[in-house]
Structure 1
């Protein structure tokens, strides 16, 4: 059963990575994409999704084959994975705010969502994304001996949680991030709904489309944010049953890591007319006989 499950996951990961890479290549086809905030954020979400899928799948394979991993290698994969997992929901929140500005503050959209503003948004995203990881890694280095020249049989984030209070701190940080991003999504949705009801003609159509986009972002963000709570549940299960712990990690991987990252291509790759036309041209140009 596990063999079939692992094979299925490999197929899903390869498919989603291929789609995401194709979308990233399409992003660089036109100037309008890499000079517009929402498309830049979209491409960044795709890239962070690719990194997350690759590193987490690598950890899954190591876990399945039981191959010992050097502690430094595990630490490196932990840092990259932890940061990339936070980057996706943070980027989705930024994309929601961009839609809010576009619909609720159209006259200021060009000013607030310029290329320069995009760079500032990335600084905020990466700053917030590395904070939880830095906290865990610093506490780990302070708490353990300096001997890292050893191999471990199982690489997981829980290895770097050496104190019970450290786990509580990680949970508190994750819950704080969840609350802030949830409030931003909810408020954006409420304000866009009001604008959609008050608008007329093309403005109403545009507002409703923006509303559906925010809803999709909200659902995708919810799946990503649930992942932030999974370590708490996994840590509790690890204390009781290692087999159940591994099965639960497998379930979480598919539901809250793989699934949310298959929605990005749907939201902009297919629903956005401009991007879809560029994608269609790219596909036909490469595969049309």
Structure 2
């Protein structure tokens, strides 16, 4: 998930910079950027769901954890997540090819998903897939949280750590959900404040793309005592 977030942030930051410098880009170039951004965006909620499921197995079925969560199965699961998101992105290209002329790919547009894939079918398919994926992810997060809460001993240190991790996963999933309402919110704010369109787009980018992925190192770092000690020292401007 960390590698996925690094790729996502690198691509979105590069695309944001190119958009501010050139404003419009060739559709062919935008298609490559948008596809990889879509892949890494849709990977994040699925990664969080399966990581919560792994914590559930580790706490509720500790004797079976090493047999169920093997390295081979982890690789298969990662490949399955990538396959789901790749199919989602590739289907957008086929729909666009069927509904647009080839000259469209030689034109220049503002590099947004709705401009690169203008067909209304793409938007309908995207909304449907987002609803299904979010329902599945939230179901897994809620189920694993309550199972850990009621199945493990209250005094268990591992249970508390797993429970707190899943809570943070839920917060991160909630923040990732903002990407699904960001286009409507951005358009509404631009209509209200047309003179501040670049600032609004940048603020939405930071809120929707940067903040949810900034939680990843915190989620896994703050549970480590050594990391927590040094982070506290740096925040308090103390030397260790």
TM-score interval for Structure 1 and Structure 2 normalised by the shorter chain? 0.7 to 0.9
Structure 2 unmatched ranges of 5 or more = 232-240
1:246-267 CA-to-partner distances (Å, cap 9, x unmatched) read 5554333111210011111111
Q: Is the 8 A contact 1:93 1:184 kept in 2?
A: yes
CA distance in 1, matches of 2:22, 2:84: 34
Aligned with residue 222 of structure 2, among 270, 282, 285? 270
SS at match of 1:155: coil
Alignment of 1:48 with 2:16, yes or no, is no
CA distance in 2, matches of 1:270, 1:188: 21
CA distance in 1, matches of 2:139, 2:56: 13
Q: Is the 8 A contact 1:83 1:133 kept in 2?
A: yes
SS at match of 2:206: helix
Cα deviation for residue 236 of structure 1 reads 6.1
CA distance in 2, matches of 1:106, 1:212: 18
Moved beyond 3 Å, runs of 4+: 234-249
Q: Is the 8 A contact 2:11 2:37 kept in 1?
A: yes
SS at match of 1:107: coil
Residue 114 (structure 2) aligns with: 158
Q: Is the 8 A contact 2:45 2:173 kept in 1?
A: yes
Alignment of 1:209 with 2:209, yes or no, is no
Q: Is the 8 A contact 1:63 1:155 kept in 2?
A: yes
Structure 1 unmatched ranges of 5 or more = 1-44, 281-289
Alignment of 1:95 with 2:51, yes or no, is yes
CA distance in 2, matches of 1:149, 1:255: 31
Aligned with residue 69 of structure 2, among 109, 113, 123? 113
TM-score, normalised via structure 1 length: 0.71
Indicate how the Cα distance of structure 1 residues 175 and 248 shifts in structure 2: closer, same or farther if over 3 A, else same.
farther
CA distance in 2, matches of 1:263, 1:80: 21
SS at match of 2:213: helix
Indicate how the Cα distance of structure 1 residues 147 and 234 shifts in structure 2: closer, same or farther if over 3 A, else same.
farther
1:121-162 CA-to-partner distances (Å, cap 9, x unmatched) read 112211222232122221111111123563414111111332
Q: Is the 8 A contact 1:224 1:260 kept in 2?
A: yes
CA distance in 1, matches of 2:66, 2:159: 17
Aligned with residue 258 of structure 1, among 204, 210, 216? 210
Residue 283 (structure 1) aligns with: none
For the aligned residue pairs, the C-alpha RMSD in angstroms reads 2.8
Indicate how the Cα distance of structure 1 residues 70 and 168 shifts in structure 2: closer, same or farther if over 3 A, else same.
same
1:173-228 CA-to-partner distances (Å, cap 9, x unmatched) read 111111111111011111111124xx165xx1210111001101111111112213
Q: Is the 8 A contact 1:56 1:81 kept in 2?
A: yes
CA distance in 1, matches of 2:151, 2:59: 7
Aligned with residue 39 of structure 2, among 83, 101, 120? 83
Alignment of 1:126 with 2:78, yes or no, is no
**Superposed, which structure 2 residues align to 1:32-43 within 5 Å?**
none
1:23-70 CA-to-partner distances (Å, cap 9, x unmatched) read xxxxxxxxxxxxxxxxxxxxxx11111111111111211222234422
CA distance in 2, matches of 1:195, 1:149: 55
Residue 127 (structure 2) aligns with: 171
Q: Is the 8 A contact 1:237 1:245 kept in 2?
A: no
